[in-house]
Structure 1
Amino acid sequence: MPPTGAHFNAYFDENFTTSATPANGLALVDYSPSYFDVCLTRRTLFFNLVSLFIGRWAEEFCMSSNSAPKVGVIMGSKSDWPVMEHAVSMLERLGVAYETRVVSAHRTPDLLFDYAKSAAERGLQVIVAGAGGAAHLPGMVASQTPLPVLGVPVESKALKGLDSLLSIAQMPGGIAVGTLAIGKAGATNAGLLAAQIVGLQDATVRSAVEAFRAEQTQKVLDNPDPRPEPEAE
């Protein structure tokens, strides 16, 4: 910043201290640090606020237009994640936007109701719900939303997931839950089936599903020999 006493050409303003007036009609004014500091501070603050507003607006616009979740992946507890992450991995592979969180049917029933009732309004098209033991989460979610709900039975220590499977599969008539296999395979297929549902209205996702299935078909055709490859000597 210039030292005090430096001169600048400017139109006369009462906030400046004028010096000699040259022939061009402009007043030579003494530089006032306090005045310019205030202007600079205000200008910096203004542009910072504008940048902040534009940045947040752009972020929200991108999320709403390109990355708004289409699939909700929920589970009864964090211990279900090692299974449910396979549903998420499939969604990521197929380019499907998703959200994931813990929603316990027994420990957080109010949260369950709020989540299920607001799902359609928030843009979700399908919900994948995984639970183990007395696996009431998928059925209770299905009772609170018109969206399709896919249930993934998580293997339990006591009954190896059979209790989870029956809890989800044996729904009363009128409340539908699409029940997948127990464990990793069920979670993987839940992600795939959710993508197929989204693909009914999204050509990009549908193409990704078709490419995935073609790829796995080609892998089988490329490796017809079931015998293991001989180890190199």
Structure 2
Amino acid sequence: MTTPIRVLIADDQVMVRQGFTVLLDAEPGIEVAGQAVDGLDALGKAAELAPDVVLMDIRMPGLNGIEATRRLTEAAGSTVKVLVLTTFDLDEYVYEALRAGASGFLLKDASAAELAQAVRVVAAGDALLAPNITKRLIAEFSRMTAAPRPPLKDRAGDLTERETEVLCLIAQGLSNAEIADRLVVAEQTVKSHVSRILVKLGVRDRTQAAVFAYETGLVRPTGY
């Protein structure tokens, strides 16, 4: 029997926590391990319950979701994935959360199917990059970032020409299968490239790799 994906829901609104709990507990292969009322509570519950995915509201009293995300993802040995919850699809705080280590974001009015799919995608380590809205958000707010720091450029220099090509396609939101079709290679070959890219860049997942690509100027935001 497959181990269910354990989810922690962090939101200061009771109705949101309860609603998402009901929706996710009804999904096969997903269980809600607990709820947190703010960022500090999320840190404590995450340490106690060891969830696979945290649904993290951004705007919470006390410790907000951005700082809570940063602390969760930067903790030694941390493997937890953070899926940011927001009311606005172009919320500047969402981009800050992505920079802090979140693997993607989800609108609070998402359907049950969209919520469950988002949890499964993030838990699998693929990151929630496919929706156009996520790509647009990353591209839009990357325009506002300062010039990249030298260490970022140095890390980009560690990539081979093919790995750089794959990274650029990741940043455009392409899946492994789509990248394989574009480059006319096997999907397993793409997976190997992606794994090496994440290791060389020192990032957690595809979302963080995409943020890196925009911030270093490897990919220029266009068409959004």
TM-score, structure 1 length as denominator?
0.38
Q: Which has the larger radius of gyration?
A: 1
TM-score, structure 2 length as denominator?
0.39
Higher helix share: 2
